[in-house]
A and B are shown apart, each in its own frame.
Chain A
Amino acid sequence: MPASSRRQPRNVPRLTRRGAGLVVIGAVLAGVSLWFDLRDVLLLAFVAIAMPLVGLGYAMLRLPRLAVTRTFAPATVAAGGSTRVRLTVQNRSRRPFDGARWRDEVPSPLLAPGEEVLPGIGSWERALPSGDDTVRLDYLLRTPRRGAYPIGPLQLSLGDPFGLAVMRRAVGGERELLVTPRVTAIDGAIARSAAVDGARHGLQRRTNPNSDELIAREYRYGDPLRRVNWAATARRGELMVREEEQRGDPEARLFLDTAPRGRTDEAHRGDAPDFEFELAVEAAASLGVHLLDRGYRLRVDPLDDGAPGRGEYREPGGGAALLLDDLARLPTPGQWRRRERAGGGSAANGAGRLTATRERRAPMPGFAVLVRPADERLAELAALRATFAPAVAIVLPSVAERWIETLEHADWRIIRIRRAAELATVFTARPTTVGAGAAREARWDEFLAGERDAP
């Protein structure tokens, strides 16, 4: 959201409907009284004209001195959910503060309640705080779309005591609310893991069979007894536990089409949400969280070099949270392209190529989420097939059929999704079919689990 369109300066006091009506009545009355020379009514006419103007001046001169703190519960929220915003408004003036309405400033896709009455607040209690100088406001903020949104400042409508004029003033600062993409829990293991309190033997053996995993070290307080290496203990005469080596961390790669080509239909341009792209982000988030949960180190790459969305995540160490954070901040294609044009940079245009990881090692799981990929990127992706096992492409309906074929020919497994909810089930076993079909499905499961090569 560009800041300019979201926040209009409203530092001009204006008359309410009542005030404007009163001025009109007063003007008519003044005309009548002058015409008929009714001096007495002239007084009332001028009262009707003067009161709204006086109110206007009063509303303009009111300068609230309020301290506003804003917290979110929960602090980050998934798209489609809601969070409670807690506002604490403390009067920092020696005079009580009354006669205002409040509304929190919220950028456009978020939904906050409308203007409400702000109760009167007592004067600032420096010495013996009893809480009478503080109002707590708490409202439900609905977050339909992912993104990083500034919430605030608190908009106050300050009126005069007679409700004739009103002045909008912003109080306090703003605070960023992170709306992460929705994560769909994926049933079934995409890649098998043995995530039992930190020990990842099986996994390691399978992904990196040459490594020497067993190095014993002395027991430290807190090590589970199960990890006691009895053989080494017997040899050394003191408690020894197994220590695995970090070198062989399992890694997975995820390619995300973060800068899909422009859409062909001209009607949907500008800031209108790109639903396919959002779906892709959701799919990436779901996959990433799933993989991180399974103990994988995850490397996310944009399909186009230079496009946003590069990062490496590991768990433990807050990898899932970081991933969601990064994905939440991922600019929409429209924003990114605009930013690119403004920056004059064109780094994205074919400068880099998709490459495999640092060194050629055993194949790792590779995933690609495709929205509207560029042709050459797809060709490169197809070429990378050999480094991945399994190699799964999650394909949205917007990908042309011929590119899907290209990938299929390169032996990528294609998973088509139309809705985020489908993610939950596409990886689980299909309904068992008889004969060769059933056998293929079983093999597919094993393949997904990384236990065998491509079927």
Chain B
Amino acid sequence: MRRDRAPLSRLQALALSGATFLLLVIAVMALGPLLAGSGWWWLCTAVAAAVLFGGAGLRAIRLPASLVPLGELLILLATLTLFFGGSSSLLLLVPTADTFGVFGELLGGAQRTIQQQSVPAVVVPSLAFGLALGTGLLAVLADLLVLTFRLPALAAAPALVPILVPGFLIEDGAEVGTLVLTAAAFLLLLRVDVRVRRRAALAHHDDEVLITAPRRTPVASSVLPTIGLAAAGLVAASLLTASTPSVSTSLLLGSGGQGALFARGVSPFLDLGRDLRRPDAVPAFSYVARDGDRPYFRLLTIDRFDGEVWAPSDRRIDGDNAVDEFPTPTGLGDAVARTQHPIDITVQQLRTTWLPLPYPVSSVEGLDGSWFWDRGPLTVRSADSDTSGQQYRATMLEIDPTAEQLRAAGSRIPESIQEFTELPEETPAPIAELAAELGASADTAYDRAVAIQEYLRGPDFRYSVEAPVEESYDGGGLDVVAEFLKQREGYCVQFASTMAVLARELGIPSRISVGYTAGTPTTTRVENVAVVQVDSQDLHAWPELYFQGVGWVPFEPTPGRGTVPDYSRPGASETAPVPERAPGTPPPTPGARPDLDPERQLASGGSAGATSDPVVWPLVTLGLVVVLLLPAGVRSWVRRVRFRRVRRDDRGADAAWREAMGTASDLGSAAGTAALTPREAADVLLDELGGLDDAGRRALYALRDAVERARYGPPGTEAPVSEAALVELVTALRRRATPVTRVRARLLPVSLLDTARAGRRSAARA
């Protein structure tokens, strides 16, 4: 591999640039599922083309290789100015100070839009700027790897960046076609590199060798093996991928078809919390309820609990369960009063395969696609479409149980419901104690449930979306519940799971529903009925408890959110049903939600930016300082290693001489950089410096003699070299340099390049 670095002709360099361009452009295609439209791809293509082919042009005019990346960065800047600079630029290409201001704003906007937009994101100009900038930087990096360092295999690294992104954001990750194309483009790059290398080596071979090639060289001959091998590799990789079991499916939730809303999170809870923490609300859907109903809208029910994670039961979609007719809800007895109310729902920016519906419903009409209900929780999901743009009418079954009916349910639980009382074996002590305490305060299951709700809505508990994240007890596992009971700060997820766990601890079947609270009425009216708007801030989780004869009954343990059901108020023990929103109930009834909701207050976008900025800039500065000090750090480490070798006399003369020459070349002397023998180097050094003082000269001669003896003398005759001489020489050299040179030698030690070069040479020799 000696002559691998034979210089390339312009055409050969251009071929490599072209292959790199192809790889990068195809890799960027992997972002397709995340972004709407295709204009952004053409933009990225243009930027990549400008950078890579601009770089090829710079090489064609024989610009030094070290300057080409800088030139490419300038080209990138000009391209970005052309596309985004607008009126702030000079001659459309030259950026001004204003242009950088524009760029800063665009970057900030890109950051915000990445936080806010759901998949697929609309490519607003700021996002387009982010994409163009990222592609350009990746192109510069790829060009550096392929053409400057001639390591095209490492071009996989920049190409992987856009490919990895979708995997973290959506369930399916990048599309298979794009992946295969990217792999093919990568192999093409390797192939082009191999050919270019051979051609260049053939053109620049050893002078003592004469190679007479045939007049016609077979070009087509290598095409078939190339394609065949690439196909074999890709097929083998596909088979391996298909046959590799997914080791982490059992831990994660993401097997079912929750779709994009709860795309791939560890748990829907965490996504819910993330959605709640978003600064700007995204409208989810609106509804019109003629009868003035303000129900909770449920998306899915999670009822399996393994101690760490709440997860939905894994149920197959049953084709018989069409949504035009629902069965009677589980456990609902005839004695309970029920009425039917139609609700018209229009979905806006909610994209999931679960349908937001009140519970229970008797029928749903007007849906596009195939939708089916699940047997147990009666949640509705689609086999082939999602909620976006749906408009449908749900007939809600309003059930109105009385406290007596609930109390009469007793603690009998049918076999089929038994599984909803399951808890892991070892419950943390605080939970068990609290459950025992609350259980002792009441006689019936219903009263105990009310006691739990009352306890959680008590004055000790505060609603906070941020606290669980900051104290890192987000989620709904047992240890999270224990931590939450200690911290007493959290949001619906913690409240709901705590109530569910406590209920199960007391033997009451429980589950958690995830969905939306009733939303905010708007001034818009349809047929004289107010349209109610539900947005992402209304995301909610609440516990449901099972009582024989009534079925699953929702509770509201979260203070400040939603509405407390009538039957679950502590005062509901009287026969007369308490009117809705009766005054004097202990917990605040959040009728006028919008302004009281705590998360509404933290939702103002400005505060988020204000908190992030002071943190980010010092971090960036710190990172910059670290990067700038890196060479100095490496150099001082090298120095320490060499001094240690001198002290231990582990090829000490060599180490001492290297250190002396390294210091010399750091200080700008030619003695250390050129390939000189020690004697020549010492002479050059003395020449350049115009003579050292006596001590320095003596030290120089001592070191020189020692290294000559070690390098050229017969083995066994090396004399140990004194550390003092090295220190003497180094200080003498430093003393002669100007302070500026000294600082530069510290911060930008040139000798590191020599060390690296020597290391590479020895590696190549090995």
Binding site for B on A (CB under 8 A): 17-18, 21-22, 25, 29, 33-44, 46-51, 53-55, 58, 95-99, 113-123, 130-140, 159-164
Contact = CB atoms under 8 A, between A and B. Distances in A.
Q: Across the A-B interface, give the 3 residue pairs with the lowest CB-CB distance, nearest first.
A: A40-B173, A96-B218, A119-B213
Given A25-B156, A161-B191, A43 B237 contact: yes
Contacts of B717: none
Interface string B227-255: 00110111011101100101111001010
B209 A46 contact: no
Contact of A117 (B201, B210, B222, B248): B201
A109 to B, nearest CB: 17
A135 B222 contact: no
Interface in B151-197: 151, 153-154, 156, 160, 163-164, 166-168, 172-176, 179-180, 182-183, 186-187, 190-191, 193-194, 197
Contacts of A131: 214-215
A39 to B, nearest CB: 6
Contacts of A98: 217-218, 221-222
A46 B252 CA distance: 23
Contacts of A120: 213-214, 217-219, 221-222
Contacts of B226: 161-162
A57 B666 CA distance: 49
B225 interface: yes
16 contacts: A17-B1, A37-B252, A39-B241, A41-B163, A41-B174, A51-B237, A55-B233, A97-B221, A116-B205, A116-B211, A119-B211, A119-B213, A120-B213, A136-B210, A161-B229, A162-B190
Nearest to A161: B226
A58 B229 contact: yes
B574 interface: no
Nearest to B205: A116
A50 B225 CA distance: 16
B205 A136 contact: no
Contacts of A49: 237, 240
A38 to B, nearest CB: 4
A18 B153 contact: yes
Contact of A46 (B182, B205, B241): B241
Given A121-B214, A163-B190, A40 B237 contact: no
A44 B222 contact: no
Contact of B248 (A37, A51, A54): A37
A41 B173 contact: yes
A36 B214 contact: no
Given A54-B229, A96-B218, A160-B229, A140 B246 contact: no
Given A38-B164, A97-B221, A160-B229, 16 more contacts: A36-B168, A38-B167, A39-B246, A44-B183, A44-B237, A95-B221, A115-B1, A116-B201, A119-B202, A120-B221, A132-B215, A135-B214, A137-B210, A138-B209, A140-B209, A163-B193
Contacts of B216: 122, 132
B190 A122 contact: no
A270 B662 CA distance: 40
B242 to A, nearest CB: 9
Interface of A is mostly: mixed
Given A39-B246, A40-B163, A113 B233 contact: no
A119 B201 CA distance: 10
Contacts of A18: 151, 153, 190
B2 interface: yes
A162 to B, nearest CB: 4
Interface of B: 1-3, 151, 153-154, 156, 160, 163-164, 166-168, 172-176, 179-180, 182-183, 186-187, 190-191, 193-194, 197-198, 201-202, 205-206, 208-219, 221-222, 225-226, 229-230, 232-234, 236-238, 240-241, 244, 246-249, 252, 254, 264
A21 B153 CA distance: 8
A42 B241 CA distance: 6
Q: Which of B153, B191, B264 has the most CB of A within 10 A?
A: B153
A85 to B, nearest CB: 10
A455 B193 CA distance: 78
A18 B152 CA distance: 9
A123 B218 contact: yes
Contacts of A97: 218, 221
Nearest to B153: A18
Q: Which of A21, A50, A132 has the most CB of B within 10 A?
A: A50
A21 B176 CA distance: 24
A137 B211 contact: yes
Contact of A50 (B2, B211, B214, B233): B233
A49 B241 CA distance: 11
Contacts, number: 200
A43 B183 CA distance: 9
A43 B166 CA distance: 14
A163 B205 CA distance: 19
A140 B201 CA distance: 18
Contacts of B179: 40, 43-44
Contacts of A17: 1
Contacts of A116: 3, 201, 205-206, 209, 211
Contact of B240 (A40, A50, A58, A118): A50
A133 B218 CA distance: 10
A47 B233 contact: yes
A39 B237 contact: no
A37 B246 contact: yes
B237 to A, nearest CB: 4
Contact of A140 (B1, B190, B208): B208
Nearest to A100: B198
A42 B198 CA distance: 32
Nearest to B188: A162
A21 B211 CA distance: 32
A81 B80 CA distance: 63
A204 B213 CA distance: 59
Contacts of A121: 214, 218
Given A18-B153, A41-B173, A95-B221, A133 B240 contact: no
Contacts of A119: 202, 211, 213-214, 217
A110 to B, nearest CB: 13
A38 B173 contact: yes
Contact of B229 (A38, A44, A55): A55
A36 B735 CA distance: 56
Given A35-B248, A48-B156, A135 B211 contact: yes
A162 B264 CA distance: 36
A25 B151 CA distance: 14
A104 B541 CA distance: 77
B246 A117 contact: no
Contacts of B205: 116-117
Contact of A42 (B211, B222, B244): B244
Given A114-B2, A132-B216, A46 B237 contact: yes
A47 to B, nearest CB: 4
A22 B174 CA distance: 21
Contacts of A114: 2-3, 206
Contacts of B173: 38-41
Q: Which of B191, B206, B252 has the most CB of A within 10 A?
A: B206
Q: Which of A46, A55, A132, A139 has the most CB of B within 10 A?
A: A46
A50 B233 CA distance: 5
B181 to A, nearest CB: 11
A1 to B, nearest CB: 22
B52 to A, nearest CB: 21
A140 B209 CA distance: 7
Contacts of B264: 37
Nearest to B2: A114
A39 B167 CA distance: 8
B214 A134 contact: yes
A121 B213 CA distance: 8
A54 B236 contact: yes
A150 B652 CA distance: 44
Nearest to A138: B210
Nearest to B222: A98
A98 B214 CA distance: 12
